[in-house]
Amino acid sequence: MSPVPFVAPVVESTAAFKDDIFKGKVLFCTGGGSGICRGMTEAVMRHGANAVIIGRKLDRLTQSAKELSEKTGRTCIPAQADVRKPEELKEAVKKTIEKFGKIDFVICGAAGNFLAPISGLSENGFRTVMEIDTIGTYNTIKATIPHVRKTKGAYIHVSATLHYKGSQYQAHVSAAKAGIDALSTVLAVEEGPFGVRSNVIAPGAIAGTEGIARLSNKESRRPFVSPLGRVGEIKDVESATVFLFSDVASFITGQILVVDGGAENTRQSQ
């Protein structure tokens, strides 16, 4: 008789961490207006931090900032910037310092994606994703690092698992995310002596996100499954975020935390 299939529970990060562990902290999050990064921002705010969310679309950012503030009782403000433009990011940092006086945590999460075979991917298509993901991460690090050194803060970079093996139609994103992983590791080794930590969260397929919507419309993609019986939820990434920014992770840097229910590292029959 086959056992009843196990499905891993989805748990609020508040269930495992005290409510006020980030009281007085300030988060700077690119891509925080929607999806996974908005969830990560909400989780950090739920534990006491104020936040600035950065993105290209001011309407969406403003609405998200309002909702995040209402939901958490903390303060979230929007800052419009395209991570491809260093000057705009510097302005966002300036706005953050004027409002909150410092930056403790940075989430480099702004990303772009679409499916295209490498043979049909235009130079501009490849460059665009590299510029948003990898160069955008570099630009965000450059704009924030003087402030993060002052607070002995921490970075989380949002990567993926698709570049661990060949993933069809994802040459641009695979190259970009591999670059992000590398940037984080170098940041960890160079900034560790200043008390700054840098880690990567690599989500697998996360339900209800722009990423999964963009990757779900080609038949030849591998199905999204995991040994733990479900696809990921944004809450799973939230919990990893709270853990990595918290003091209990104070000796963890230069690491990649894969949040995918074991999907990437296992072989499963369907």
Assess 181 for contact with ligand HXC (CB under 6 A).
no
Is there a contact between 19 and 146 (Cβ–Cβ < 8 Å)? no
The radius of gyration computed from the CA coordinates of the chain, to the nearest angstrom, equals 18
CB of 149 to ligand HXC, least distance (A): 28
Name residue 28's beta-bridge partners: 52, 106
177 in active site: yes
Assess 162 for contact with ligand HXC (CB under 6 A).
yes
CB of 233 to ligand HXC, least distance (A): 14
| Token digits of residue 204 | 């697998």
Assess 108 for contact with ligand HXC (CB under 6 A).
no
159 in active site: yes
Report the residue number, 211 or 261, with the smaller CB distance to ligand HXC.
211
Helix 86-100 to helix 136-151 angle (10° resolution) is 30
CB of 220 to ligand HXC, least distance (A): 15
User: Which one of the spans 59-67, 73-81, 98-106, 203-211 is the region binding ligand HXC (CB under 6 A)?
Assistant: 203-211
Among 27, 143, 160, 258, binds ligand HXC (CB under 6 A): 160
The whole-angstrom separation of Cα 115 and Cα 82 is: 22
Judged by CB under 6 A, how many residues of this single chain contact ligand HXC?
19
CB of 226 to ligand HXC, least distance (A): 13
Catalytic sites, residue numbers:
159, 177
